[in-house]
Each structure stands twice: as C-alpha cells, then as structure tokens.
Chain A
Amino acid sequence: AQSVTQPDIHITVSEGASLELRCNYSYGATPYLFWYVQSPGQGLQLLLKYFSGDTLVQGIKGFEAEFKRSQSSFNLRKPSVHWSDAAEYFCAVGADLFSGGYNKLIFGAGTRLAVHP
C-alpha cells in the first residue's frame, strides 16, 4: 500500500537559514509527488509537483524539491527561509491508473515549521 512518511514533526530554523524538509514514500510504480503548505486557519496551497522528467522541480515561493527514486525520497528545500514561511508542510503521493487505485492523495503527517527571527 502506498504511504508517505515525514520523519520530522516539528522543525525550527532561524530566518535566513536554509531549510530541508524530508519526505519518504512507499509506492510500487512511478509516483506523482506533491508538496502542499497550510498556513494557520488556511487551506492547502500547492507548492510544487513531480510527475516525470527532471528530478529537480521548482515551485512557488522559492521552494524546490528533488525526487530521488533510489532513496524513495522527495525532500523540499529552500535556500533562505523567511518568517512568512512558518506553516505546516505536507508531502503527498497520488495514485495513478496503473496502480489500480484512483486519484486520491495520500498525505504524510506533516511537518510544522517555526521560524525564529
């Protein structure tokens, strides 16, 4: 069965520092991978997605993620964090036609990011 693991529940970084949020997935076929961000009291906003092709994908707000098939990982990175990046970040995998599944998203438990000034 598909699953997503986000090993870090909470991460605290200083403003201006670099950031890496970890995501590991379990999936038999080529995964569709996503990172979403949820600010307090808000819905989920798509940061970036990986469907195929270049394994380094660029997203909004200066985020990028790298798909590493050998490590079953899709880690999210940002070179310099801003205070406004404080939020909860969710990694998700989407089922595809060949998995026999359907188009649901399977989410990790989330990583809550705090940014110190």
Chain B
Amino acid sequence: DSGVTQTPKHLITATGQRVTLRCSPRSGDLSVYWYQQSLDQGLQFLIQYYNGEERAKGNILERFSAQQFPDLHSELNLSSLELGDSALYFCASSPSRQPEIYNEQFFGPGTRLTVL
C-alpha cells in the first residue's frame, strides 16, 4: 500500500459524458501527478500540481482538467468523453519539498475508466 488513494476504482460511462476522478496523496506530500495508461499509448504523464498550483502539463487533452484543493487532494475532470479515453488513470504523489526538485513518486491503485 503506497498511501495514495484513488476513487472510484472502476467507472463505466457513455460517450459525451463527464466524470471526475479523485486522488488523495500520501500524508505530507505536496506534489500530485496524473498519468494515463492505455494499450496504445502506454503510460503518459498528464499534469502535475504542487501545493494547489499547476506546475507542469504533459499530454493532456483540452477536454481534461485537474485541480488540487487546500487539503491537497486532487481531482481529474474528463469531459466530452470518447471511446479512446478508456484507460487506467493513475495518481501519484511525491515528497519533494520544492516542486522542481526531483524525488520518487508513489502511485495509487488507479481508476479504470471504460467509455461505452
């Protein structure tokens, strides 16, 4: 158990819908990262938040957005869902005390999204 929690574990929805994935980082971790794992793209970095602020963006679609709240939990919002958005979405947190300084990332169990 990494200490990172994600809910829900599974999510099944229809095309065009909007969903919200939730992540609670390890206690004390200020950085939260979101990754997408799909069969065709592999594991791809989406976005990073540090202490409530967006710090870096990766291959994140404009239909997707995220935020980190004062209690440090984060949400990933996916809208206008398409079949190709079906994937495993991971959240990770890092104990880095500065957003640019690297440290290992601890991953949650993931949310499996199925778009029908």
Contact = CB atoms under 8 A, between A and B. Distances in A.
Interface residues of B, number: 28
A102 B42 contact: no
Given A43-B90, A103-B102, A90 B96 contact: no
B109 interface: yes
A90 B43 contact: yes
A49 B106 CA distance: 12
A42 interface: yes
B25 interface: no
A2 B4 CA distance: 27
Contact of A43 (B99, B101, B110): B110
Contacts of A43: 2, 4, 90, 107-110
Contacts of B35: 105
Contact of B106 (A46, A90, A95, A97): A46
B104 interface: yes
A103 B2 contact: no
Interface string A24-65: 000000001010100000111110010100000000000000
Contacts of A90: 43
B35 to A, nearest CB: 8
Given A42-B109, A44-B107, A45-B2, A104 B102 contact: no
Given A90-B43, A105-B43, 10 more contacts: A34-B104, A43-B2, A43-B4, A97-B100, A102-B55, A103-B55, A103-B102, A105-B35, A105-B105, A107-B42
Interface of A: 32, 34, 36, 42-46, 49, 51, 90, 92, 94-97, 101-110
19 contacts: A32-B102, A43-B107, A44-B90, A45-B2, A46-B104, A46-B106, A95-B102, A97-B101, A102-B48, A102-B55, A102-B56, A103-B33, A103-B94, A104-B48, A104-B58, A105-B43, A105-B105, A107-B42, A107-B44
